[in-house]
Every structure is written in structure tokens, then in C-alpha cells.
Structure 1
Amino acid sequence: MSAPLDIDQLHTFVAIVDTGSFTKAADRVFKTQSAVSMQMRRLEERVGKQLFMKDGRGNKLTAEGDKLLNYARRIIRLSNEAMAAFDDNRLEGMLRIGTPDDYADRYMPEIIGRFAKTHPNVELYIVCEPSPSLAEKMSRGELDIALVTHNPRLRVSDVVRTEPLCWVGSANHPLKDDAPVPLAVGRRDCLWRQLACSALDADGRDYQVLFTSWSATVVAAAVLTGLAVSVLPESALRTGMKVLTAADGFPPLPPVQIGLMKRPGLSPSLLHAITDHITACLDNISPAPVSDDVDGDMKTVTRLVRPRMAQVMPGW
């Protein structure tokens, strides 16, 4: 009978992938770099496959390593869930979480699903409101943590994800070249709306706000039907949306960041438990693949989301 996989080796294997290096992984798993290398040699001997290969001065996963990664994450997750189920000191109580509704659509299903499995005795109380409202609730002690659009001018939050902000329009409805840019955006205090308008102002391009809403559904409908242009983070792109670039007359936008606000005095064990899940979930999001369509001398780049990606609209 084949010997089972060593879960400690799998922990180290996943740490290498998540940190991007053997050295950083050694710090995460509290081992020396030589011990980490030895573990990976033994894991490769165990599965009979090469898991890493040289990539310049670093290492990258082989096809077999990528195959093992999915199993390793599942094994570790199941192990953690099993240990939590029999832990007499497992976490209990209530955790009050705030998030904009668009972030809730995109990120929260995996976050709360994983957290509920590992900490079944913790009640999650989730509030969906715009980032400014969540910041006010945090200041009044009405929430324990909040996932918000990072805006250091208005509030303090720890950045947990950074990605490009893109102009998006309908892939099936071309814009009129001689008309002002029709916009579908959030309310006036929406950071992404401010970035979009400032970029168009600086570029000297005329625009008109046609749709203002906190509703992700309303803004998505306006874009997909060709009625308006909006701005979205790269991970939120949907089938039927086209990324508009300088070739289409749209100026570049700064990257956007998702921040995490934490209530002072929150139980460290609860805080670490939920932030670990949030960080892991956001780190696992992949950028949308690119589909290039060439029509004569015009090259249109359309980014489409992977099927597993849920709908997300701007993080107001």
C-alpha cells in the first residue's frame, strides 16, 4: 500500500507557492531554508514527479506541481476543518463584518464558506453598505472588520489586494466617436468615479454622467447594453465587456486597492482567523485572461472572466 502524503510537507509546498520563494516560505513555516529544500526533495520522491523547475534566479511550478497544488490545498483545508471540529477551545461568539455589496458578490462567498467550516461556532453578522458608510460604522464600534475601497485620504485600512482599474464598455455596442463619453458610476463620493472623471478632465475629453447608482446590477446593465462606460478592477471583468485603452481614446487609470479596517480591541484569535481567510481568498483570485480579436488594422483587446468568477461592480 502506498504511503500517505506528509501534510507538513504539503504545508511547506503551499507556502512556497504562496510566497514565491523557498526563503520566504521558510520564514512562514518556521524552518530553515535547507529544511524546506529537503522537504521538497522528499515530497518529489514521494509523488515521483518534479514539482519545481528553475526560472531565472527563482523557481516555478511544473505542470505536475500545479496539479499537486490543488490537492494540497484541499487536504490542508480538510485537515484544518477536522481539527476545528474536535477543538474544545475553538472560537465562539459573533463577528460583525462590513463590505460593499459588490465586494460581497465577488469575494464573500468563498471567505464566509471557508470560515464557517473551520469555525462553525462563530456567528457572522454581515452588513452590506458603501465604503464611507462602513467607515462610519467602524468609528462607532458597530463593526469588527470592514472590507473597503482603500482611500488613505479618508480612512485608515490595511491593503489586502491591488489590481489595475480598467475602463469598460460593451463588446457588442461601439461608442459614438463624436459624442461625450456616457458614464455609469457610483455617487459623488465614490473614489472610482472621482478617478474616472479626473482622468477624463485631465485628458480634455468630454463626458456626461448618465447613470448614478450604488447598485452593481444597474451599472452592469448600462455597460452591457452599450448605454454607458464604467470603470472596473481587472478581476471583475465580465463576458460581454470590453477593456477600453488609449487606442480607444481613454486615458490610463491608477490601480485600485482593497483595504481591511479592524476594530481596536477585537479578540486577536477572531481577528487572525478571519483575516487569514480574507487574505488567502483575495490572493487566489487570478487576473482575467485576454482574448485578442484582430479586425484589419485595428486590434481590440477584450478581457473575459473565467467561468468561476462571480459578478462584481465598482467598490464604491
Structure 2
Amino acid sequence: MNAPLNHPLPLLDLDVLRTFVAIAETGSFTLAANAVFRTPSAVSMQIKKLEDILGRSVFMRDARSVSLTQDGEMLLGYARRILALNREAVSKFIIPDISGVVRLGSPDDYGERVLPNVLKRFAQSHPSVAVDVVIDQSSNLRRRLAERQLDITLFTVCRNIPPEAEVLLTEPIVWGGAKGGCAHMREPLPLSIWEDGCAWRADALEALGRDGRDYRIAYMSAHTAGQRSAILSDLAIAPFPKSFIGDDIVALGPKEGLPELSNYSLAMIVAHDASAPVKAAADHIRATFELFRETGRF
């Protein structure tokens, strides 16, 4: 039976729904608080308000994790649709009607880990802009940009950062090995790397040369997924960014008899004559890495 007109159903607050979705996606009240620019206590109060309105629990909480209840799973679909519809409606009035094509270049590793989230959010806020993505080696991407085949490119570099580049992230390179593996004990040292032009390769080989350590190329892959396979099978070790370490891949170093590696930077270059869509895409990329620096999550 429908509710009487003089007793309308309560309205769900968009800010509360945004917080709810952030918690569901990050699995953490603290990370969600950073993402929505609120304190953890304020986020907890929002969720309590939401659960009071619905008369249902939307999260199961314990000391280590947060997960959705069955009702929370149902609400998540509605919340995403409501927020998407709100963005679409508001954008028709207050966001300039930007349309066009953005040609974006990225190394494989960040193309796999970061770009899906960037492009998803960008498509939501700029539905009239098409993004064409090229995944390639950093040296090739910089050449493509110079030849005006790209409008924006991300690339990795260990030193000699071009003056026109904007550094998005700097972190250590470490040796990645299988948890409990022994590949790093073998002689010559088996490596998984890619061809010349890879910043991580150059740094790793220089370090091994300084250390006088014999090595052999046991596995070659242009894709981090392939390198992960080589590591997890204990076929080889590979130079990896510290943020890529996790699960069954551990960081190795001097304690395991391996030379310490340098830092590397992920940088971005935007074409000097960038169009409005290109500038908007660059802003989205910057915002993604600002969030990563604050929360440690993409």
C-alpha cells in the first residue's frame, strides 16, 4: 500500500550517499573520510543517520574491516545511480559543455592500475569527451607527444626530468620477489625486465653493475602482469615500484644481498597548446594522484 501523501517518505541526502559509496569502495571509514574531506567521526554520524532513516544496517564492522550487508549491497546500486543522475543534471547547468577528443599515453603499469578509475570519473563529469589511450614504453610515449600524436602522456623517469614535465609521484624502486621464494639466491641472478628505455631496468642494471653481481635475463615482458607471473613462479626477481608490492610479492634488498635501488618519478607532460578537454583530463589525473598521496590508494 502506498504511503499517504501527507506522510512522504524521507529523502536521502546526497552527501550521505556519497560518503556511503566512498566507504563501500575503500573498505574503510578512515579512507572514505579523507576522500570526502570529513573527519572519521563525522562519517560515522552520517552512516548512523542513513541507517536510522532506512531502519537497516548497511555495513558489517569488526576491528579490521568494513563490509556491506545484504541491504547495503542493494543500496549501493541505488546510491551510484542517484549520484550519477545528480552529476548529469547539475553538469547541464554549471559545467561548461566541453566536447572533443583527448589522446592520452601511459606506461603499461599505470595504464592497468590507475587509468580505469581516472577514465571512469572523467566520463561521468565530461560525457561528451572521448579519450583515446595509447599504452607504450615511456621513451616511445615521449616521442609520440613530441610528434603531436598525443595530447598528454604519463611516463616514468629516474633522473633528468624534463623541465616541461610535472611530477605526479615519487617513490622508491625495490626488488620484487616471491614470498618465501629463492630466485634471489641463484647465480647468476635471474631477472624479469623489459627492453632498453625502461627506467626501472636502467636503474636495476646500473646497481647490479656497481655491485659486481652477475645476472641473466630470465623473463622479458612489457607488461607488469607478465612480470608478476615471473615473480610469483619464483622464476626471477624484478625491479618494481614500492607501491606495487603486496599480496604474495615481497620487497627484497640489502638484507637479501641485493643492491639498493633509486627512487623513480611518474611524470606528466601536457601539450603546450592543450585544448579545454585536454586540460580537464589533466586536472582529473592530478586529482587522482593528490588523493593517492593523501590516502595511499588510487
**Range class of TM-score, shorter chain:** 0.5 to 0.7
Quote how far apart the aligned CAs of 1:226 are: 0.5
Say which of 175, 189, 197 aligns to 1:167.
Answer: 175
1:234–1:287 contact (8 Å) kept in structure 2:
no
- SS of the equivalent of 1:146 reads strand
Quote how far apart the aligned CAs of 1:89 are: 3.3
Structure 2: state its 5+ residue gaps: 1-8, 19-30, 49-79
Which amino acid in structure 2 is aligned with residue 244 of structure 1? L
Q: 1:47 to 1:211 in 2, by over 3 A?
A: closer
Match of 1:128 in 2: 135
Quote how far apart the aligned CAs of 1:77 are: 8.2
Distance 2:85 2:255 in 1: 48
Q: After superposition, where does 1:207-218 map in structure 2 within 5 Å?
A: 207-218=215-226
1:138–1:145 contact (8 Å) kept in structure 2:
yes
Quote how far apart the aligned CAs of 1:6 are: 9.8
Higher mean displacement: 113-122 or 98-107: 98-107
Q: 1:94 to 1:179 in 2, by over 3 A?
A: same
Q: Are 1:255 and 2:263 matched, yes or no?
A: yes
1:85–1:118 contact (8 Å) kept in structure 2:
no
Q: After superposition, where does 1:1-316 map in structure 2 within 5 Å?
A: 80-86=87-93, 89-150=96-157, 153=160, 155=162, 156-175=164-183, 177=185, 179-267=187-275, 269-285=276-292, 287=296
Q: Which runs of structure 1 show a deviation greater than 6 angstroms over 4 or more consecutive aligned residues?
A: 1-7, 42-48, 74-78
Distance 1:78 1:234 in 2: 38
Quote how far apart the aligned CAs of 1:274 are: 1.2
2:101–2:277 contact (8 Å) kept in structure 1:
no
Q: 1:45 to 1:167 in 2, by over 3 A?
A: closer
Tell me how large the CA RMSD over aligned residues is: 3.9
Question: TM-score, normalization: structure 2?
Answer: 0.68
Which amino acid in structure 2 is aligned with residue 205 of structure 1? R
1:184–1:219 contact (8 Å) kept in structure 2:
yes
Higher mean displacement: 110-119 or 180-189: 180-189
Quote how far apart the aligned CAs of 1:251 are: 2.1
Distance 1:113 1:181 in 2: 41
Greater share of residues in helix: 2
Q: 1:215 to 1:259 in 2, by over 3 A?
A: same
Q: 1:143 to 1:91 in 2, by over 3 A?
A: same
Distance 2:124 2:205 in 1: 43
For residues 122-171 of structure 1, the C-alpha deviation after alignment (integer angstroms, 9 at most, x for no partner) is: 01111111111111110011111011113553744210111221111111
Match of 1:68 in 2: none
Which amino acid in structure 2 is aligned with residue 263 of structure 1? A
- SS of the equivalent of 1:142 reads coil
Structure 1: state its 5+ residue gaps: 19-24, 26-41, 49-73, 289-308, 310-316
Question: TM-score, normalization: structure 1?
Answer: 0.64
Percent of aligned pairs with the same amino acid? 28
